[in-house]
Amino acid sequence: MYFLRRLAWVNVLAFITLGHAFRDVMYIDEVHSEIPTNLSITTGITHVIMAFVDPKNFSSVDFLPSPPLMPVKDVRTHFDNGTKVGIALGGWGPYSSSFSLVSTEANRTTFATNLADWVEKQGYDFVDIDWEYPGGNGAEKSFDAKAEIDNLPLLLGAIKEKLKNGAFISLALAGVPDGMKAFNTAEQSKSTWDNIDFTTVMAYDFVNRASNNTGHHTDVESSRLAVQRYIDLGLPAEKINLGFAFYAKYFEVSDACTKCLLPDGCSLVPAQGANGMDTFKSGVITFESRNIDPPAPPATLQESPNGTCGYNNASLDGVETKWHIVSLAARSVH
C-alpha cells in the first residue's frame, strides 16, 4: 500500500457471495481526516478502519498509543448505527517493520495481551493487520524474511486468542505478487485464513516504486488475477474484499520515453534506491477537492505533437525536457 501516511478515502467493496453479508469498508487516516457530517454520504458503510498505529506501541504497557484522529465514540457519530470501527496497525512505511518485534512466543503474548486490553478500553470492534509485507518487498528491508513468514499466522492466532467481547481481525493483503511471499501453498496459508474474519486485497500499486516501466497502477485484469491467486491459496471468497484506490500515481520517465509508441511500457527513472529508500521520483495525487480542481497548468506546457509518449525533442528546437506520466487509477464505484 503506497499510503505513506496519506491514505485518503479508500472504499473497499466486498465480493458478494450467496449466504454472506455485503461489506463496504473505508479507511480514514490522520492526514485526510475530514469525515462527512452528512449521514446520507456515509450510509451503507459497514466497517471503518482508523489508520495507522505503530505496532511497537504494544510491545510494552508503557507505549500504548492514543486513538488516531478522535475517540471511537466520536467516529461512530458519522456512520450508521451498527457500523464496525477498527484500528489499523502497520501500513506502508516504517511502521510495518515493527512487526519484527513479535519474533518469539513471549513477545507475541505480550503484544497480543496489550493490544487486546487497549482495543477493549478504546471501544474498537476489530483490529486490521496491515503488515507490508511479511517476507519482504515492503518499504523497509526485512530483518528475517523466513521468520516473518512463519510468525504471521502465529501472531494472528495470539491476537485472536486475546481479543475480547467479540472483537475480530481483518488482514490487508498485497495485490502485487512480490508482496505475497508469506503465502506459498493453500496448506501453509490455512492457519492465516482461519484466524481472520475478512481480508482486503490491495488491488492497486501494481506499478510502484520498484517498477521499471509505466503502466496501470490499478486495473481490472490485475485485480482479477490477484484475487484468483488468493482463492487458489485457499482463501474463502466470502472473506475477500476488493480494495479500490482513490488516487493516481505519477513517475518520472527516462529519456528513452521519447521512443515509446504508447504510454504503457515507458522506462522509468528508478523511484527507489538499492536499499529500498524513496528517491522522490514518484508520487501520488489523491482524489480530493483540492486536487480535483487544481490551478491552471503553466502557459508553457505543450501537448505531444504526435500523441506518443513524451515529447519529440527535435520539435522543441533542441530544448531538453523532463516528463512525468500519471498512471491511471480506478474510478469511483457507486
Q: What pLDDT was estimated at residue 274?
A: 81
Give the tens place of pLDDT for each residue, 258-292: 666 777 888 899 998 887 788 999 988 888 777 77
Per DSSP, the residues of 169-191 read EEEEEESSGGG-TT---HHHHHH
Beta-carbon neighbour count of residue 86 at 10 Å? Answer: 24
Beta-carbon contacts of residue 195 (< 8 Å; ≥ 6 apart)? 153, 156, 157, 159, 160, 169
Cell of 256: 528513452
Q: What pLDDT was estimated at residue 293?
A: 76
Q: What pLDDT was estimated at residue 239?
A: 95
Give the tens place of pLDDT for each residue, 122-137: 999 999 999 999 987 6
- What averages of pLDDT result for each successive group of 10 residues across the chain (334 residues)? 33 41 87 80 93 93 88 95 96 86 93 97 97 80 81 97 98 93 95 97 91 90 95 96 89 75 83 84 83 75 62 42 39 30
List C-alpha distances in Å: 240 to 73, 135, 196: 28, 21, 11
Q: What pLDDT was estimated at residue 9?
A: 40
Chain length of the chain: 334
CATH class, domain 10-246, is alpha beta
Domain regions of the chain by residue span:
10-246
